[in-house]
Amino acid sequence: MPKPITIQDIKVILTQPGKSRLCVVKVITSEPGLYGLGCATFTQRIFAVATAIERHLKPFLLGRDVDRIEEIWNMSLVHGYWRNGPVLNNAISGVDQALWDIKGKRAGMSVCDLLGGKSREAAQVYVHADGRDKEEVLDNVRAFMGQGYRFIRVQLGGYGGQGSPMVKPRNAPPGAYFDPRDYCRRTLDMIAFVREQVGDEVELLHDIHERLAPIHALAFAKDVEPFKLFFLEDALAPEDIAWFRLIRGQCATPLAMGELFNNPQEWQLLIQERLIDFIRMHISQMGGITPARNVAIFAGQYGIRTAWHGPSDTSPVGHAANLQLDLWHPNFGVQEWYRPSELDYAIFPGLPVVQDGYLYPNDQPGLGIDIDEGLAAKYPCQDFVEQWTQTRLPDGGPARP
């Protein structure tokens, strides 16, 4: 019987080629030259994830058989006893994705082929069109349409419509202020305007980003229904998911949810009761490819499509993992795409490319992506305190991000 290939070392690579701090895990094996990459990016707590990997997961996993992905994932989850939190899930994801990458390289197959093969040749993607006013949003939508994109998320003034005039109390603390009621009025007007101008030839999406009280999110979902969104994203916070029953019962606006989810209890109810139309977890936040595969199969049984989270604070390795899942699963819906910079492509050879609104894989095995560690090291992660998640209501009270 051949000697198993084992985990010889686990390396954490932190880099920041853009605004987001990224965490990539490199699992080095006992087979010379064989390694895998995985995404463990929780950008707001990037150093906590790095420490969890280096001080806890690495000592636990050294010497283990790289083929035993299921066992490693499950034992890593319970080894810390408390589980399903974002730091540990991301740490586990980095290793999990890297092990899938290794398995694909050993087999000479893509991860998509390991999962069962392609259901499509490329994944349709959506991009973000923002603007200070509705005319600027429209201009950006038309620019993206000119580049071949057919799915476009429209936002006005960022999440929550920041920048609208408001009266704050004296000595109000600093923060990312927004007015929920003003956001609703102005955003509905913007969506109506864009839809009237571009017609039905493009799919429009919008992200509430959990900024509204549940009753106001319900009203917004009803008010936006005539404009035929492809989906309305994050109408509610994870703590309020029971309200999806009321939204579903009162309108036909397609709903997408999941990027903040860590625990299966958060997505199981929504899938089983068919309360949403798209499931869109952050793959590293939920623990990697292994749980994402399971959720995709589970959701598919209920006719719910995938739309994995794909912002700039998913590393390029994570985007490569998203694409492998997109190509494989029959119930894929659409993939969020952050439009990488030239520097991203230089640091991460093999990063997928978009043509005519479709994201295409390459012909390399595993995840099909690599990292130039020397170049990545020239862009170290910066120490700073996140500002955009310090959201506040007009009276200065804290709000969800």
DSSP-based three-state secondary structure for 65: strand
Q: Which sequence spans correspond to the domains of the chain?
A: 114-365
Q: Is 283 a residue whose pLDDT tops 70?
A: yes
- Residue pLDDT, tens place only, 45-104: 999 999 999 999 999 999 999 999 999 999 999 999 999 999 999 999 999 999 999 999
Beta bridge partners of 204: 152
- Residue pLDDT, tens place only, 224-239: 999 999 999 999 999 9
Q: Under a CB-based contact definition with an 8 Å cutoff, are residues 176 and 393 in contact? A: no
Q: Quote the tokens at residue 113.
A: 């082929």
- Residue 339 has a pLDDT of 97
> What one-character-per-residue DSSP string does 245-262 give?
HHHHHH----EEE-TT--
- Residue pLDDT, tens place only, 144-192: 999 999 999 999 998 888 767 788 899 999 999 999 999 999 999 999 9
> What is the rounded distance in angstroms from the CA atom of residue 12 to the CA atom of residue 24?
6
- Residue 42 has a pLDDT of 97
Q: What percent of the chain has pLDDT over 70?
A: 100
- Residue pLDDT, tens place only, 376-401: 999 999 999 988 899 999 999 998 88
Q: Give CA 121 to chain center in angstroms.
A: 21
Beta bridge partners of 37: 26
Q: Taking the chain, what is the end-to-end CA distance rounded to the nearest angstrom?
A: 54
> What is the rounded distance in angstroms from the CA atom of residue 7 to the CA atom of residue 53?
14
Q: Which of the residues are catalytic?
A: 159, 209
> Which of the four pLDDT bands, split at 50, 70 and 90, describes residue 6?
very high
Closest residue by Cα to residue 307 from 320, 294, 291, 296: 296
> What is the rounded distance in angstroms from the CA atom of residue 140 to the CA atom of residue 130?
7
- Residue pLDDT, tens place only, 238-272: 999 999 999 999 999 999 999 999 999 999 999 99
- Residue pLDDT, tens place only, 208-227: 999 999 999 999 999 999 99
- Residue pLDDT, tens place only, 41-56: 999 999 999 999 999 9
- Residue 160 has a pLDDT of 85
- Residue pLDDT, tens place only, 324-378: 999 999 999 999 999 999 999 999 999 999 999 999 999 999 999 999 999 999 9
- Helix ranges (DSSP H) in 62-107: 69-79, 86-107
Q: What is the CATH number of domain 114-365?
A: 3.20.20.120
Closest residue by Cα to residue 318 from 331, 307, 309, 306: 309
Question: Which secondary structure element, helix H or strand E, spans residue 376, and what is its range?
Answer: helix 373-377
Q: Is 8 a residue whose pLDDT tops 70?
A: yes
- Residue 163 has a pLDDT of 67
- Residue pLDDT, tens place only, 9-30: 999 999 999 999 999 999 999 9
- Helix ranges (DSSP H) in 130-213: 134-146, 180-198
Number of H-type helices and E-type strands within the chain: 15, 15
Q: Quote the tokens at residue 355.
A: 């043509």
- Residue 38 has a pLDDT of 98
DSSP-based three-state secondary structure for 40: coil
Q: Cα separations (Å) of 239 from 187, 210, 259, 291?
A: 24, 10, 13, 21
Beta bridge partners of 127: 152
The length of the chain, given as a count of residues: 401
